[in-house]
């Protein structure tokens, strides 16, 4: 077994389908080489740009042996081809799609020369002629024809294809490390144990510890996306047996996702559907998602109320009513008198009413009231599909109701910066800039939540001065940082949430609950929250 860096590949690497070939090579190198070899898997840590692309001059693997020297390997998966007329390398994936790729030999060679320069500039590096080699592994490709003189204008011995990879990888590696005299006649040699330690000092730290926050966040979200499966979606079939249903669950239990899935399924049966909620930004988000379904009408309750007009003493609707199905999201926020209008727009007798409401009895009216008044049957949601365990722990402190389980990844404990509101705004701006410039976070992954419109406009203005595209939740452009108040972001979510909280918000259990539960993977809170309900939730013990 080789000495592998890292010792074990993290879950977010294993879950990335683009790395299948590299993962296979990592495992084979571990099997094929003994403990005298150090194998550094470099690319995911210090060979990826903030946008996820490859950096020039970084090989996928660096192999180091005290006696044999250094070998720089580039890995390309899929079916590889080279067109000499255009000097273009391509790879065809499992779906048959062809992609242009960089010259793998040039990539390995460039890394070799750049790394040699770094080593020569490092104190203690041997002055002798150290053996440096490079090579390419195509783990999915058959070996080229024996009659061919070269591969892509390069010597065949530079390439390890499927058969060698599976059965003779160690022999191919030792073949690449065969010594030969230098141009000056001096014999090559390995770097020795001291040289190996110098290589570790240059490579091991970033390989072992430096993982862009953006990669961690995407890995955690990918893990949570797989949770929305049978148990949640099967509930739709069960609910079909009830003409009136109240679906209840805490923040993050997938109520809005389930409501949209239900709307889409009913629309495919030829029914007309009204999807009604309280929040304008949530209404716009749902309308975008529902755009492929022409028989689904999405509006806020205020839009619905304004759609009525009086004609000779009788009210009629500007929109098509009654609807076959009425789906109400954020039902806990609807005033009692609003339900009369909901009943008016629902088709009598055959109409289906579906209400989705938060079950947090600590901040909302008891569900029994809705169930009794509207004659609904209750269906609970008990799985948190949005938050990491670390964030769910904070929301649990603000929640009282039916038990909710958070089976997602552990995640990172939310951070708290207790400070004045002005300092909180400046700190938030600094963190946004750092996340965008240093941590591989894209603008569309960030939501900055504020206690009021004044702070929102201040942050939007400051981001504009920094030339960072930002918008409020109503527009919610994919390549923009979203900045809006906590109430307006209700029903929405973001991978990374930076929450600026004043004393009023921090002592409001409902707003605190809404704000912290919007974060999927990272939560950072700034403001004068000492001694408040929000601080107690953020610092609660297990």
- In terms of Cα–Cα distance, which of 60, 63, 67, 107 is closest to 199? 63
CA separation for the pair 24, 27 (Å, rounded): 5
Q: In what order do the strands lie in the sheet with 132-137?
A: 3-5, 38-41, 61-65, 69-75, 132-137, 159-160
Ranges in the chain, pLDDT < 70? 12, 42-58, 145-149, 179-185, 204-212, 215, 223-234, 309-317, 365-368, 476, 541-542
Q: Which residues contact 434 (CB under 8 A, 6 or more apart)?
A: none
The token duo for 430 is: 């600094």
Q: Which residues contact 314 (CB under 8 A, 6 or more apart)?
A: none
In degrees, to the nearest 5, what angle opens at C-alpha 238 toward C-alphas 235 and 241? 145
CA separation for the pair 39, 134 (Å, rounded): 14
Q: Could you count the other beta carbons within 10 Å of the beta carbon of residue 191?
A: 24
Q: 């109320």: which residue's tokens?
A: 305
Q: In what order do the strands lie in the sheet with 481-485?
A: 415-418, 519-527, 494-500, 446-450, 481-485, 470-471
Helix (H) or strand (E) holding 164: helix 162-167
> What pTM value is reported for the model?
0.61
Q: Which residues contact 212 (CB under 8 A, 6 or more apart)?
A: 48, 50, 439, 440
pLDDT score for 282: 94
CA separation for the pair 349, 421 (Å, rounded): 54
Distances (CA, A) of 186 to 80, 426, 533: 38, 60, 73
CA separation for the pair 250, 403 (Å, rounded): 9
pLDDT score for 92: 87
Task: Reduce the secondary structure of 405-465 to three states and give it as a string.
Answer: ECCCCCCCCCEEEECCHHHHHHHHHHHHHHHHHHCCCCHHHEEEEECCHHHHHHHHHHHHH
Q: What is the pLDDT of residues 364-377, one digit of tens each?
A: 765 557 778 888 98
Q: Is the dihedral of CA 436, 441, 443, 447 positive or negative?
A: negative
CA separation for the pair 459, 436 (Å, rounded): 16
CA separation for the pair 437, 188 (Å, rounded): 42
Torsion-angle region of residue 63: left (phi > 0), alpha (psi -120 to 50) or beta?
beta
Distances (CA, A) of 181 to 128, 130, 154, 184: 13, 11, 21, 8
Q: What is the pLDDT of residues 457-499, one digit of tens each?
A: 999 999 999 999 999 998 867 789 999 999 999 999 999 999 9
Bridge partners, residue 519, by sequence: 494
- Cβ(57)–Cβ(111) below 8 Å: yes
CA separation for the pair 281, 430 (Å, rounded): 26
- Looking only at the bridges linking them, the beta strands covering 470-471 and 481-485 are parallel
Q: What is the DSSP string of 84-127?
A: TTTTEEEEE-TTS-EEEE--HHHHHHHHHHHHHHHHHTSTT--S
CA separation for the pair 84, 88 (Å, rounded): 7
CA terminus-to-terminus distance, the chain: 40
pLDDT score for 49: 43
Q: Could you count the other beta carbons within 10 Å of the beta carbon of residue 396?
A: 19
CA separation for the pair 526, 530 (Å, rounded): 11
């Amino acid at each position: 077994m080789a000495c592998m860096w890292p010792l074990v590949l993290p879950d977010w690497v294993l879950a990335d389908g683009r790395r299948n070939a590299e993962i296979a090579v990592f495992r084979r190198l571990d099997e094929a080489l003994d403990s005298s070899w150090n194998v550094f898997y470099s690319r995911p840590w210090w060979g990826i740009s903030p946008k996820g692309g490859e950096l020039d001059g970084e090989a996928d693997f660096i192999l180091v042996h005290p006696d044999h020297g250094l070998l720089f390997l580039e890995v390309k998966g899929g079916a590889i081809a080279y067109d000499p007329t255009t000097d273009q390398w391509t790879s065809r994936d499992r779906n048959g799609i062809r992609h242009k790729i960089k010259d793998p030999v040039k990539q390995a060679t460039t890394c070799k020369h750049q790394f040699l320069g770094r080593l020569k500039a490092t104190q203690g590096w041997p002055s002798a002629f150290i053996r440096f080699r490079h090579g390419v592994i195509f783990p999915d490709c058959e070996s080229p024809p024996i009659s061919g003189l070269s591969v892509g204008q390069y010597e065949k011995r530079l390439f390890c294809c499927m058969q060698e990879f599976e059965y003779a990888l160690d022999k191919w590696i030792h073949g690449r490390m065969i010594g030969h005299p230098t141009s000056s006649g001096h014999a090559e040699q390995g770097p020795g144990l001291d040289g190996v330690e110098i290589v570790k000092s240059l490579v091991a730290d970033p390989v072992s510890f430096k993982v862009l926050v953006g990669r961690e966040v995407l890995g955690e979200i990918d893990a949570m996306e797989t949770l929305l499966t049978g148990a949640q979606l099967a509930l739709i079939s069960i609910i079909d047996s009830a003409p009136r249903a109240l679906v209840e669950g805490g923040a993050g239990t997938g109520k809005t996702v389930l409501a949209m899935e239900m709307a889409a399924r009913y629309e495919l049966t030829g029914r007309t559907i009204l999807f009604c909620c309280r929040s304008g930004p949530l209404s716009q988000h749902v309308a975008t998602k529902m755009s492929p379904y022409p028989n689904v009408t999405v509006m806020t309750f205020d839009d619905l109320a304004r759609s009525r007009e009086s004609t000779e003493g009788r009210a009629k609707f500007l929109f098509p009513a009654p609807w076959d199905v009425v789906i109400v999201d954020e039902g806990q926020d609807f005033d009692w008198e609003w339900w009369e209008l909901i009943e008016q727009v629902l088709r009598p007798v055959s109409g289906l009413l579906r209400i989705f409401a938060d079950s947090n009895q600590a901040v909302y009216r008891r569900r029994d009231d809705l169930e009794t008044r509207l004659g609904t049957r209750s269906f609970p949601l008990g799985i948190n599909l949005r938050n990491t365990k670390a964030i769910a722990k904070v929301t649990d402190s603000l929640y009282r109701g039916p038990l909710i389980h958070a089976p997602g990844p552990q995640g990172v404990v939310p951070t708290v910066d207790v400070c004045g509101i002005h300092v909180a705004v400046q700190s938030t701006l600094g963190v946004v800039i750092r996340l965008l410039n240093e941590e591989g976070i894209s603008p569309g992954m960030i939501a900055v939540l504020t206690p009021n419109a004044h702070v929102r406009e201040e942050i939007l203005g400051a981001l504009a001065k920094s030339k960072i595209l930002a918008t409020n939740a109503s527009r919610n452009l994919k390549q923009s940082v979203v900045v809006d108040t906590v109430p307006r972001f209700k029903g929405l979510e973001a991978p990374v949430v930076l929450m600026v909280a004043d004393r009023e918000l921090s002592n409001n259990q409902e707003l605190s609950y809404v704000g912290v539960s919007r974060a999927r993977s990272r939560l950072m809170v700034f403001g004068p929250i000492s001694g408040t309900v929000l601080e107690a939730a953020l610092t609660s013990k297990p």
